[in-house]
Structure 1
């Protein structure tokens, strides 16, 4: 018995022979018009093209279709929630494990960043690991670098377990993990200034000492074994400090008991980043292996009132669009970092083995006053009622939390770089 759609009547064959050519010629103008006005599927963006890393995008993409402004957007509700929770990975710093510490509201977990002109895809752990197969990624900087690193480790652990292969025992400031599934290593280096520095302590100096013309060798000495580095500094520059350059003291920040000129910290931050990026270019920009580098921009704090009072950062929703503007110190810190990245990119344009981008997260982070641990930096802080003094963390980010978005953007930068590399082959 044949197909129910098959008809062998000879008159039907004759009619079909006459209609097929006319149908083709009638539809041809419509097809040509569609191709002319809509050469790609509607709303196609770079993000969706780059998601399929195994398939090369068309070589005729315009510049607009190979870039995305992730800084311009808004937070929108997302019912899917994060890829992990406070118990699914063992790398979360105790003070950022808000769920385990009893934070009662869970709404802060159900938002995602929506850029205005493109799509930011959900993080793809397997894609990330595949792009960094046989490589070494290092996060270098202060506690915000560690916050971002631990977010990434938790997201990657949803598909592959990392093994801690090194720690120095100094408050987890230097650690390395290894993903055997992809021969991939990821490290964190404590370096709150990126340049050489002596940190203030309870038993020594009551201010920091910075040497702005020397990169910090605690991480830079390992540069030859690093394929990609994410740099993140800012908050430590707000502390009292004395600044050195060469054999002279440039001045200081908040040092009334010392005989030095007060010069603030914006230009000092600029000098530190300039020295760091120059070291990367000089040491890695000319060799066969090269290096990829990103600078995560300043992450604003959200203290409203005293740090040791109840309600210092008690908001439970993101700011709405237009409710909060980027200004003052937050804007200045970001601007210094972005400008120095752009200047270094210009100075290294001829280097094919050196790639650099600013991971600009300042505005999207500014809009998330609800994402900090607050009093839940400590376990169950109100188990015995509200005390007179309640220590709050309105600087770092709960894990999971808004910092996960930083790594979603990091992955999109990596996919863009991969696309560009394959296109040049």
Structure 2
């Protein structure tokens, strides 16, 4: 192919110039210093602009920002980064590959921290197929999880997961990935109301989970008794929980499932202590937007971008209607043992897409550095990885449930080890190779 080169003649430069004198051919020390500075600045700012462009790669139309302000956001290296993801690599786009050799990253029986709601083998799951699938991004590879590096990075620091039971599953997964490197007498896990703390004593480090399904204050904030159908969320109340998040070095937020009530959300404008409560009704996406804005504001006010990292995990798909992926009508995730092979499968309806649009709009307008972990599509393929009926139930099963397993299968939560370990591999990649 012929290159469209730009010659001096095409630029209109007079080629009959006199040879420069020996004096003018020498570059002055000042000019050399200026050229060196320009080269250094181009490398530094070029890297930072590249980092910013990767913060929200799945949002197609972020608002335009003045270049000089964008550069000012990230003039220093990203905290905890030791490298960067290769150019053009989207870790969240790819396929699931059967990999018997890789196997799970830990054994269910080896990790005592998994809740009985997630121990599928202990509760009778007859096969382990769900443990032998590896996520393969398109055109690149997912960095191998390095537990030693993670623990050394957390030395003297706090890491916290904030959100609902799905975020708690990711939290427990990370603890299981790390705890084998810590002597038995040098680790502990304790729960204090909404806060669960895993301590690695010889690292002076904690990995914590804080129960806040809406992030804002709500009538569902009791970490044990929270099965409330008439949910109420208090507007502008993120500091009620946020005071417990201050001082963390790495924080991973999630909130989604509890907003999907199928009806209007009740938003409290006053206090839960008011005798007469001032309540307004909002659509789910309007209420969710309110929470996202509160979270971004809290991060801006309380997290130092030069020292801390903030992540947000996207929606975790449920698989309650097998007809959506070509299965039988009336079925769900029960008895599913393989991921979906249709790479065009797009989980979720209009309500879910509306929530994703809200995330994109709020994060796109924000100048706060929050790294988005888009686990939605890759998890949407994993209809096989749910706890289904293989979990400890809150209540004894009825004869009707026993006769029809599909009726009580949990198609929301995930077996451990399993899919959520991949979420943490992606978190690891974005923490160290943004």
Greater shift in the superposed pair: 361-370 or 203-212: 203-212
Specify the alignment match of 1:177 in structure 2: 198
Specify the alignment match of 1:83 in structure 2: 105
1:131/1:414 contact within 8 Å kept: no
CA-CA distance at 1:357 after TM superposition: 0.4
Specify the alignment match of 1:5 in structure 2: none
Alignment gaps of 5+ in structure 1: 1-45, 47-53, 249-257, 349-354, 418-425
The 2-side partners of 1:305 and 1:356 are apart by: 34
2:252/2:312 contact within 8 Å kept: yes
1:408 matched to 2:429: no
CA RMSD of aligned residues (A): 3.5
CA-CA distance at 1:389 after TM superposition: 4.5
Specify the alignment match of 1:356 in structure 2: 370
The 1-side partners of 2:375 and 2:356 are apart by: 9
Out of 388, 392, 398, the position equivalent to 2:415 is 398
The 1-side partners of 2:332 and 2:290 are apart by: 37
CA-CA distance at 1:200 after TM superposition: 8.8
Alignment gaps of 5+ in structure 2: 1-50, 52-79, 272-276, 324-329
Out of 70, 74, 99, the position equivalent to 2:91 is 70
Specify the alignment match of 1:193 in structure 2: 214
1:388 matched to 2:403: yes
The 1-side partners of 2:206 and 2:146 are apart by: 18
CA-CA distance at 1:399 after TM superposition: 0.1
Q: With structure 2 as the length reference, what TM-score do the two structures score?
A: 0.68
Out of 234, 237, 241, the position equivalent to 1:214 is 237
- Secondary structure, counterpart of 2:412 in structure 1: coil
The 2-side partners of 1:72 and 1:301 are apart by: 19
The 1-side partners of 2:267 and 2:284 are apart by: 13
Specify the alignment match of 1:367 in structure 2: 381
1:152/1:404 contact within 8 Å kept: yes
1:234 matched to 2:256: yes
Specify the alignment match of 1:316 in structure 2: 337
Out of 95, 115, 126, the position equivalent to 2:148 is 126
Specify whether residues 95 and 83 from structure 1 end up closer, same or farther in structure 2 by C-alpha distance, changes over 3 A only. same
Specify whether residues 213 and 204 from structure 1 end up closer, same or farther in structure 2 by C-alpha distance, changes over 3 A only. same
CA-CA distance at 1:370 after TM superposition: 0.3
The 2-side partners of 1:91 and 1:110 are apart by: 21
1:104 matched to 2:126: yes
The 1-side partners of 2:331 and 2:348 are apart by: 26
Specify whether residues 204 and 166 from structure 1 end up closer, same or farther in structure 2 by C-alpha distance, changes over 3 A only. closer
- Secondary structure, counterpart of 1:279 in structure 2: helix
Q: With structure 1 as the length reference, what TM-score do the two structures score?
A: 0.70
